[in-house]
Structure formats: structure tokens, C-alpha cells
Amino acid sequence: MKKVDRAYGIMNILDTIYPDVHCTLNYSNPLQMLIATQLSAQCTDARVNIVTKDLFQKYSDVYAFANADIKELEQDIRSTGFYKNKAKNIIACCQRLIDTYDGNVPDTMEDLLTLAGTGRKTANLVLGDIFHKPAVVVDTHCIRLSNRLGLTSNTDPVKIEFDLKKLIPPQKQLKLCHQLVNHGRLRCNARKPDCSNCELTEYCKYYQKSFK
């Protein structure tokens, strides 16, 4: 089966299972999305949402974050893990937003990647969910599922991003990534995937190798 046919078959099934998907991080503006995504590195979205509920009230705009006391900010985000590095990056990121972008979150990959703490995963999520541009968000779920489903043989996130861009129409890219997150949580666990109840077994190379 050609990879593009495999991709369309997978998308059709996921559309029936998860017709309405969205980012599970809570935010109300581009800056909050950017910071929440930075905090989500090596942390669950559920934990980040608990932290940002108070965080976004305490630091109401880019200037508040840029001028934050780093020790205080570290404690505010401590439970998300790697809090020292995250606090340093958030302050530096917001200072650059003020100095270079008039306090606004930029809407291009090139500009977003100049911000501290912002890699391609974070940039793509901002581009897709905030600015509604084509975006492939490669997180741990996307890496695991795209390999198991035979959409890529790469493990490097950047290579996976470009592999999927070749297969998935631009208007469907972000939705598919959110669907993969949902399916990764519901069915395709890293250690014990629920293959017996999975709707994608006909396209899954992992299943066919393990159970046939």
C-alpha cells in the first residue's frame, strides 16, 4: 500500500472517531498559548492547565512576564518540571517579544524560532491553533503513532514533520496531529497499546508485526 493511500485511510477513520479535536492546553490569547506550550515540555497538559490557571492571572501580559522575578516565577511553575530553565526562557522570550515584535507573538516559523524556549513543535502549535496556518506538530504521540502506522520510518521530529507534510493536505495537518494525540491517549499507549480495541489495525504495521 502506498503511504499516501495509507495516510488517507487513517485520516478517514480518525475523522469518524475524533471529528472535533483541539489543543488541550487552556489559553485565551497567543501569548498564553506560547507560554503554556513551553511549559508542556516533559509535562502533561493537565498539569500545565492547573499551573496556568493562576499563572495567567498573576502575569496578565507580556510585560508582566518580561519583568518577572525569576526566583518567584520558578516557584510559580515548579510543578511543571525543569522549572529553572523554563522560567529563564519565558522571561527571555517575553523580553524579545517586546524588543523585536512590539509585544506581539509573531506568525512565522522563522520568527518564532528566534524566541527562547521555542522549538518547531511549539512554533507549529502556535502557527496552527493561533494563526490557522498549515502545521505539523510532532510530539511524542505523533512520533510513536506515525511510526507504528507506517507513515514514516524516522524518529527525528523534524524528519517526521516533513514526511507527514508530504502525505497530509495542508488543511488537515493540524487536525491529524490533534487526533493522533487523542488516539495515543485512548488506544495507542507507549508501553501497552490497546490493539484489541483499536480502529486502525488494518493500517497498523506494529499490529501486523506483533499479532499476525
User: Active-site residue numbers?
Assistant: 121, 139
The Cα–Cα gap between 49 and 7 comes to: 32
- Here the cell at position 67 is 519583568
The residue among 113, 69, 112, 75 whose CA lies nearest residue 91 is: 69
Across 157-171, b (16+ Cβ under 10 Å) vs e yields beebbebbeebbeee
The Cα–Cα gap between 7 and 160 comes to: 14
Virtual CA dihedral for 91, 93, 96, 101, nearest 10 degrees?
Answer: -130
Following DSSP, what letter does each residue of 139-156 receive, concatenated? Answer: -HHHHHHHHHTTS----S
